[in-house]
């Protein structure tokens, strides 16, 4: 199996309104101007690395949707529309991996746009020996993982079986 998994933590978001710590207020937090610029840098970084996902999973929170919107002009067309999955918001690593494992078989690359601490914990779970991950995922950080398997395989990976046994960190960046 040959494939790429990209984990992206949303770019910098505005603080919630003063004193409102509700989930509704948190989900409605937009990107800051710096966050919008970071999202575009992430898209440019992906283009320069020749990385363009076929399939995108994204939290429905405003800041993740805006991060994805900043990337899209730099990517080739997706094989399906992005999936805005409520189960990604505030999700533990096991729930994030379960969503990745639902990716279509024709997807050679998958992008998950989400939140901490779930993104950091999932990255660490997938490659516990990657020292780069000791820094954690700051906003706008990207982890590029390679899905490996049968030597010389030309088929897309079977995402349903992807886990820490067949995914390794290739690159960790904060564009």
Q: Report whether pLDDT(103) > 90.
A: yes
pLDDT for 148 equals: 76
Give the three-state DSSP class for 169. strand
Q: Mean of the pLDDT values across residues 73-80?
A: 91
For residues 106 and 125, the answer to whether their CB atoms sit within 8 Å is no
Containing domain of residue 26, as a range?
Answer: 3-173
Query: Average pLDDT of 28-38?
Result: 98
Kindly state the average pLDDT of the residues 29-41: 98
pTM for this one?
0.94
Q: At a CB cut-off of 8 Å and minimum separation 6, what does 22 contact?
A: none
Number of folded domains that form the chain: 1
How many C-beta atoms lie closer than 10 Å to residue 5's C-beta? 27
Which tokens belong to 133? 């991950």
Q: What is the pLDDT of residue 154?
A: 56
Report the C-alpha gap between 32 and 9 in whole angstroms.
15
Separation of alpha carbons 65 and 59, rounded Å = 7
The pLDDT assigned to 69 comes to: 98
Q: Return the pLDDT at 31.
A: 98
What mean pLDDT comes out for the span 109-123? 96
The CATH code of the domain that includes 104 is: 3.40.50.1240
Assess contact for 3 and 146: CB atoms under 8 A.
yes
Whole-angstrom CA distances from 2 to 11, 32, 132 are: 28, 36, 23
pLDDT band for 166, please (50, 70, 90 cuts): confident
Alpha-carbon distance of 90 to 26, in angstroms, equals 11
Summarize pLDDT for 119-161 with one digit per residue, the tens: 999 999 999 999 999 888 999 999 999 987 544 455 668 899 9
The β-bridge relationship of strands 142-147 and 109-114 is unpaired
pLDDT tens digits, one per residue of 47-73? 999 999 999 999 999 999 999 999 999
What pLDDT shows up at residue 150? 43
Check residue 151 and give left, alpha or beta (phi > 0: left; psi -120 to 50: alpha). Answer: beta
- pLDDT of amino acid 36: 98
């Amino acid at each position: 199996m040959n494939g790429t998994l990209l984990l992206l933590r949303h770019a910098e978001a505005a603080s919630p309104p003063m004193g409102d710590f509700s989930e509704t207020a948190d989900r409605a937090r937009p990107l800051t101007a710096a966050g919008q610029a970071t999202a575009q840098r992430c898209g440019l970084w992906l283009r320069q690395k020749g990385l363009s996902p076929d399939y995108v999973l994204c939290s429905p929170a405003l800041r993740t949707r805006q991060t994805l919107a900043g990337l899209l002009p730099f990517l080739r067309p997706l094989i399906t529309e992005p999936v805005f999955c409520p189960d990604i918001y505030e999700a533990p690593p096991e729930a994030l991996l379960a969503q990745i494992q639902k990716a279509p078989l024709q997807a050679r690359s998958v992008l998950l746009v989400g939140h901490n601490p779930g993104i950091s914990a999932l990255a660490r779970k997938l490659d516990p020996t990657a020292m780069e991950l000791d820094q954690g995922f700051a906003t706008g950080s990207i982890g590029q993982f390679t899905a490996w398997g049968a030597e010389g395989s030309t088929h897309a990976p079977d995402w349903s079986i992807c886990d820490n046994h067949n995914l390794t960190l290739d690159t960790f960046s904060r564009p």
